Structure formats: C-alpha cells, structure tokens
C-alpha cells in the first residue's frame, strides 16, 4: 500500500505547523487507499548541511544523515506542511530537503502552506526544488490564511472548503505516488546491482 509522509516543515517554538499537520493526518487517515505518518523535523536535528560529499553520491558520514535518509526512503510520497518565511519556505525544511537526493526521486509531493497570503510563495519555491529532485508535485495545494483559517493567528480553525481542497490534494498525491511505483522499483533494482 502507498505510504505517505506528512512533513512538519517548521521547528520554531510556538509553530502553527504541528496543528496543521495533525489536521492533515486526521483527514488522511479516513482513507483506505494509503497509509500516512507524521515526520516532525524536530525529531531530526540536522545541522546546516554538513556532509562532505554531495547528496547525489549517497556516501553519508554522519549518523543524523543516515537516520534521515532511512526515514525518507521508506515513503512513496509526501505532504510538506510549510510556513512562509520572508516569501519562501522555512530554512529548516530547505536544509532537510537538501540533505538527500535519491531518497526523493520518483515520488510525489503535495503542499499545505500557511501564512499571511496562504504560504503561496513558499510553495512556488518548493515546486522548483521538487523538480530538481525528481519529485512530482501535484497541482492542488492547500493555502491556509493566518487571517481566515486561524483565530488570533494561532488557533487553527480551517474552513470547510479547505477540507475539500485537502481531499483533492490527497487524491492526486496517492494517484501520482502509485503511478510512479514502477520507476521507484526500477531505481531500486539499479541501485542493488551497482
């Protein structure tokens, strides 16, 4: 069965990302076509990229990188929950993404963002990054406004239309993750023979 990781893309104290990610998980778990699991970047304290070899080489020297690699490799697709900081994604999410390469390849990704303009600019930056990593980004994204989907900018109260949009995002994500399975299998076979 397709296994989707929901990445909490902020480690800031008082972050909104955890409650948003738990809302995504709660809605996703009502489905029977995939399994879903939270991935909290707080559980992976990755220093600023500190591997001497490029991620494409997969010659990791640090235990924190090996643990992160093993975690991401287990999934068929991802939902990245991202804040928007200064018209982009969070530094911690970008750093976590940059640690790896092959572990992201031939998988699908969808985005749930939040911010003053719904985090739309963070998602646009992440779409560019996804293309370089051979991550197929789905069209639908959930953009949560700090003004309309949060009370007092902190208490998450999404509108009903956000639940509908999230359902569409997950539909697309599961379809793409499933469709890419033969490419992942071929990539794995090539790695095992090399």
Q: What is the DSSP string of 122-162?
A: HHHHHHHHHHHTTEEEEEEEEEEETTTSEETTTEE---HHH
CATH number of domain containing 97:
3.40.50.360
Nearest one of 111, 167, 166, 113 to 144, comparing CA atoms: 113
pLDDT beyond 80 at 161 = yes
Q: What is the pLDDT of residues 104-156, one digit of tens each?
A: 999 999 999 999 999 999 999 999 999 999 999 999 999 999 999 999 999 99
If pLDDT is split at 50, 70 and 90, which confidence band does 98 have? very high
Per-residue pLDDT averaged across 78-102, rounded?
A: 97
The residue range of the domain holding 29 is 2-193
Average pLDDT, the chain: 96
Confidence (pLDDT) at 51: 97
Nearest one of 112, 94, 105, 101 to 46, comparing CA atoms: 94
Distance (Å, whole) CA 94 – CA 69: 15
- Number of structural domains, the chain? 1
């Amino acid at each position: 069965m397709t296994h989707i990781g929901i990445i909490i893309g902020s480690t800031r104290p008082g972050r909104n990302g955890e409650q948003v990610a738990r809302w995504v998980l709660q809605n996703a778990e009502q489905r029977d076509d995939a399994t879903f699991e939270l991935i909290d970047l707080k559980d992976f304290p990755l220093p600023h990229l500190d591997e001497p070899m490029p991620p494409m080489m997969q010659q990791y020297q640090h235990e924190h990188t090996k643990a992160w690699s093993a975690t991401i490799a287990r999934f068929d697709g991802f939902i990245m929950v991202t804040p928007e900081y200064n018209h982009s994604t969070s530094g911690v999410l970008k750093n976590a993404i940059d640690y790896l390469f092959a572990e992201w390849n031939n998988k699908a990704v969808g985005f749930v963002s939040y911010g003053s303009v719904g985090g739309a600019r963070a998602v646009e930056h992440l779409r560019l990054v996804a293309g370089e990593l051979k991550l197929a980004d789905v069209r639908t994204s959930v953009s949560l406004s700090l003004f309309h989907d949060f009370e007092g900018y902190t208490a998450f109260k999404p509108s009903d239309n956000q639940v509908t949009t999230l359902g569409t995002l997950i539909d697309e994500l599961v379809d793409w993750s499933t469709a890419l399975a033969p490419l992942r299998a071929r990539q794995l076979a090539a790695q095992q023979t090399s």
